[in-house]
Amino acid sequence: MAKQGLTLEQKQTQRLALEQQRMLGLVLEKNDAEMAEFIDNKVNEIQALEKKQDDNDDYSGSGEHDNERDNDRVPNDEVNSEVNGDDDTMAWYRYFANNRSRDDEYYAPTAVSEKTLADYLIDQLGELELDETQLMIARAIVGNIEENGYLHRTTSEIADDVTFNDGYVVDTHQVDEMLDVVQSLDPPGVAARDLRECILLQLRRKPHTPDVELAIEIVEKYFDELASMRFDVLSRRMGVDEKRLEEVFKHQIRRGINPFPGNAIGSRSDSSYQVTPDFDVELDEETERLTVTLRNNIPSLQISESYALMNERYRSSNVLSVKEAKEKKQIQDAYQRASMFIEVLKQRQETLFNTMSAIVKCQPDYFMSGDERDLKPLGQQQIADMIGKDVSVVSRAVSNKYVQTPWGVKSLKSFFSEDINGASRHEVYDDLKKLVEGEDKRHPLSDDALCDRLKEMGYKLERRTVAKYRDALKIPSSTVRRKMAK
């Protein structure tokens, strides 16, 4: 009997640990506005859970926690840590959490739009009839979509994330099926892996007129020729009049397609909505000290006193009636779920704070100057190693999160870029823009020529990478630039 009880207890512990892991992944992706609604739903769902009435504790902080003192709050420990690096230039920077009340007033700067792309997609998923696993996969896909609408992670990588981090054993085939679902959402073209797929996804959503069918055939079979604007070659290969091909391109593709579908949601030209950043990074110019604060925008929770007393009473009771045994199970289940959710919130806040602190530690020069050229190459794996988490955790922690800096509001994702021969992507972008701005407009530089010029400047880049960066900067191809100049 003891063995059976031990086995049941182990299974229950494993189930709770798995549920806690899934819940942490879910709450990390949410911003504070989404968390407020999510917490309200959980308080209504879990009877043992309630909000603290007179509590000004901050959910920011890190380091050692005195769990015996209070098991259901994140303590406001001050954290001091110095940037690793040259003592003469970097030892002054220290990072610590400020204690702020929920009642404090914050400046809510103008941000991207009323809803982010991820918000918009998640809302649409909620209207579909998806089971729990399908919804988890779909949310994982959405979490990996870039702000411009593209998906650059493979379905096999996403399958691994869901399997190892969310506790759902899924394969690539299941992710492929859900990718089709996500790609069917608005805006058209979202979750495309490349420009060709992005165009096709949008064309296939149009009414299937002869011109649209012709445009689909061009993109499917002759995309390289289309990219180089070789309508004479297309005409010979397709047996279609060259002038008609140009007209189809102009009306169905150039004017009818958005190459960056994500920009339609959360456009920076839209200043109609204001958001409250999740973090503040403040600079004391006299001491050159940087202060990191995780804002206190979600309520503190606790286990209700009545449930705590009932749980304690049943724990000390050995002889119970059938009715009491049933009630005991209900009380303990509610108590465990409430405890687990409180612990998840603590882990969320600690993970967010540690992630932001690590970003500041890696990018102190930018936070001191505000110059994007001071951003160093930084990958999410580097932050994951610093805070002792999996890279998928960091990916969720930075998703849809913003920080108020002395130089304005920044997306956390904007601090990451790959290492290009010791330079950051921001530096390459800047030099690429200067090359295009300084070119002969009648004879613009091709991607090959841009690639050669950048190599002369010390960047070892492939032509396709230069083309990708040019697209990201919304710089047309040399052919289009030449026609624009005429």
First to last CA, the chain: 88
Per-residue pLDDT, averaged over 150-157, amounts to 90
- Choose between 1 and 62: higher pLDDT: 1
Contact between 144 and 158 (Cβ < 8 Å): yes
pLDDT at 60: 40
Write down the mean pLDDT value for the chain. 77
- pLDDT at res. 147: 84
Report how far apart, in Å, the C-alpha atoms of 449 and of each of 139, 225, 422, 483 are: 41, 19, 22, 18
Token pair recorded at residue 106: 């914050």
pLDDT in the model for residue 275: 55
Q: What is the pLDDT of residues 170-196, one digit of tens each?
A: 899 999 999 999 999 988 899 999 999
Which of 53-57, 244-248, 397-401 holds the top average pLDDT?
244-248
Q: What integer pLDDT is reported at residue 65 of this predicted model?
A: 31
292: enclosing H helix or E strand? strand 289-294
pLDDT at 84: 35
Of the listed ranges 322-336, 357-371, 417-431, the least confidently predicted one is: 417-431
Nearest-angstrom CA–CA distance, 396 and 29: 5
pLDDT value for 110: 37
Residue pLDDT, tens place only, 462-477: 888 888 788 777 788 8
Q: What is the pTM (predicted TM-score) of this model?
A: 0.51
pLDDT band at residue 239 under the 50/70/90 scheme: very high
Element (H, E) at 306: helix 305-315
Q: What is the spatial order of strands in the sheet that 408-411 belongs to?
A: 289-294, 279-284, 402-405, 408-411
Pairwise CA distance, residues 207 & 331, whole Å = 57
State the burial class of residue 439 (Cβ atoms within 10 Å of its Cβ: 0-12, 13-18, 19+). middle
